[in-house]
Amino acid sequence: MKKSYQSLEVNSIYNMKQVIHRKLSSNYLRLSLIFLLTFSTSIFAQDGDPVVGKSLFNANCIACHKLDKKMTGPALRKVESRLADSEGLDREWFYKWIKNSAGLIKSGDAYANKIYNEYNGAAMSAFPTLTNADIDNILAYTATEPTVAPPPPGPIDGGGSSTSQEGGISNKLILGALGVLFALLAGALFLVNKTLRNFADAKGVALTETKRTPIWKAFVQNQFLIFVTVIGLLLASAYFVYGFFMQVGVNQGYQPVQPIHYSHRIHAGDNGIDCKYCHSSARVSKHSGIPSLNVCMNCHKSIYEVAPKTQAEGLAEYGVDYNAEIKELYKAVGWDDAEQKYTGKSSPVKWIQIHKLPDFAYFNHSQHVVVGGIECQTCHGPIEEMEIVSQHAPLTMGWCINCHRKTDVKVKDNAYYTKIHEQLSKKYGVENLTAAQMGGLECGKCHY
């Protein structure tokens, strides 16, 4: 019993969202029900406790039911009064349905069969461990009035925008102050010059304005200087021309705007989803595939909007309406969120490829990711911090070669390399072989 109290306390700390110990908590519930029955006359015997009901609901029901939104199963707000009005069902029906829906369907109950067929035969799991008191509590929770949409997280939103505004204002203030200072200085110098001239006039000193040869004429007359300058100019232009030609075809920093805004920062960074979850073909193929939209829908079937805090952050810091982007995804994949089914009208998303090797260079993801065990970030940079992905590495041949020269091949626990490793390390007289020594610099490895 003590344990169940503890577990409930822990649960209430976590917003009452995780109850694993159904049976233990139901013991507690029974006690609390007795307690209620003994000490309260105003509370009706059948009315459960919505607070306990909420934790039960979040533990058992929320995977398929939301209160105000159709999910795998129907929306449950006021389900009892609704069904009592329309179908004349009493609480006994709910007890039977929740404890063993399949049995109720088999018994030929009219509404049970109707709802079963309405949801295409998606059977509701049986919950034999829930007691009648538990079900009372859950129904009490579903009968609660919807809380008025919580006011947008004012302090976070206001705080965020006000700080950024303050930053802007203070920067402008500093710049403005500097500008005024420079204007004052210039004015002061001008005034000083004027007064000095006035003094000179008053004392009768004649200011001799010597006629000097202008500096450019002096420059033209000095042949050595011209020679040096010409050499300098030639070198500088050679430097810039060379630099220009070397960056042709190099897309480092390329950061296109994608048709649906996807934040790697949130998915890979905040939520810690593995890169290979979405880019699963990086394990097994040349390509690190762009996930098809069903991969998005694995999670976004349930996550139809982002947390208010995330939304406010997106609007304030990146100017992105994340919820609108999820709607874009639904539109592209043809998912009707209200009806919770696919419409069949989908349209491919034209993602823009960022990292692109020329056709004459061969690159294989699985060889690097699985065999080489290289982290994605080695080449793609800190993707998990990027709101909009940009190309991190230059992807030039020199860049590839450098890495092949420096990186030791992971031969440990790889039977494929055992023999060749022995031979080659004898040949080169080294302990660890780099990719280059294994033949990673041969032209034909990448160009054929």
Partner 1 sequence: MKHLIKITIIALIAVSFTSCNNSARPNYQYMPNMYESVGYEAYQESNAFANGVEAQLPVDGSIPRGYTPFEYSSDVSGYNLAKAELVSPLDSTQFDEPRAKELYTIYCGICHGNKGNGQGNLVKREKILGVPSYDDAGRAINVGSIYHVMYYGKNSMGSYANFLSEEERWQVVAYVMKLKGDLEK
Closer Cβ to partner 1, 47 or 300, answer by number: 300
- Pick between residue 39 and residue 360 the one whose CB is nearest to partner 1: 360
Q: How far is the CB of 257 from partner 1 (least distance, A)?
A: 6
**Token duo for residue 422:** 């022995």
**Cα–Cα distance, 211 to 115 (Å, whole number):** 104
Alpha-carbon span 48 to 32, nearest angstrom:
10
Closer residue to partner 1 (CB): 275 or 435: 275
> d(Cα 146, Cα 66) in Å, to the nearest integer?
12
Shortest reach from residue 195's CB to partner 1, in Å? 26
Interaction site with partner 1 (CB under 8 A): 15, 17-18, 20, 58-64, 71-72, 120-123, 125-129, 247-251, 253-257, 270-274, 276-277, 280, 284, 287, 289-290, 292, 294-295, 297-299, 301-303, 307, 348, 350-351, 353, 356, 358-360, 390
Q: How far is the CB of 208 from partner 1 (least distance, A)?
A: 26
E strands, 40-181, where? Answer: none
d(CA 228, CA 247): 29
Write the DSSP string, 135-152. HHHHHHHHTSPPPP-PPP
Tell me the C-alpha to C-alpha distance, in Å, between residue 401 and each of 18, 52, 73, 398: 52, 63, 56, 5
What is the smallest separation between the CB atom of 122 and partner 1, expressed in angstroms? 7
DSSP 3-state of 341: strand
166 membership: H or E segment, kind and range: helix 154-203
φ/ψ of 342, rounded to 5, equals -80, 135
How far, CA to CA in Å, does 3 sit from each of 7, 23, 27, 101?
A: 6, 12, 11, 31
The beta-strand segments (E) located in 337-399 are: 341-342
CB of 72 to partner 1, least distance (A): 4
Task: Return the number of the residue (178 or 290) whose C-beta is nearest partner 1.
Answer: 290
By C-alpha distance, which of 430, 268, 239, 109 is closest to 421? 430
Shortest distance, CB of residue 58 to partner 1, whole angstroms?
6
Toward partner 1, which CB reaches closer, 122 or 175?
122
Task: Say if residues 399 and 391 touch (Cβ distance below 8 Å).
Answer: no
Query: Min. distance of Cβ 298 from partner 1 in angstroms?
Result: 4
Cα–Cα distance measured from residue 58 to residue 51, given in angstroms and rounded to the nearest whole number: 11
Considering the complex, state which of residue 213 and residue 302 has its C-beta at the smaller distance from partner 1.
Answer: 302
The residue among 55 and 437 lying less far from partner 1, judged by its C-beta, is 55
Nearest approach, Cβ of residue 236 and partner 1 (Å): 15
Least CB distance to partner 1 at residue 285 (A):
9
Closest to partner 1 by CB, 107 vs 129, is 129
Task: For Cα atoms 273, 275, 280, give the angle at the middle one, nearest 5 degrees.
Answer: 115
Nearer to partner 1, 310 or 425 (CB): 310
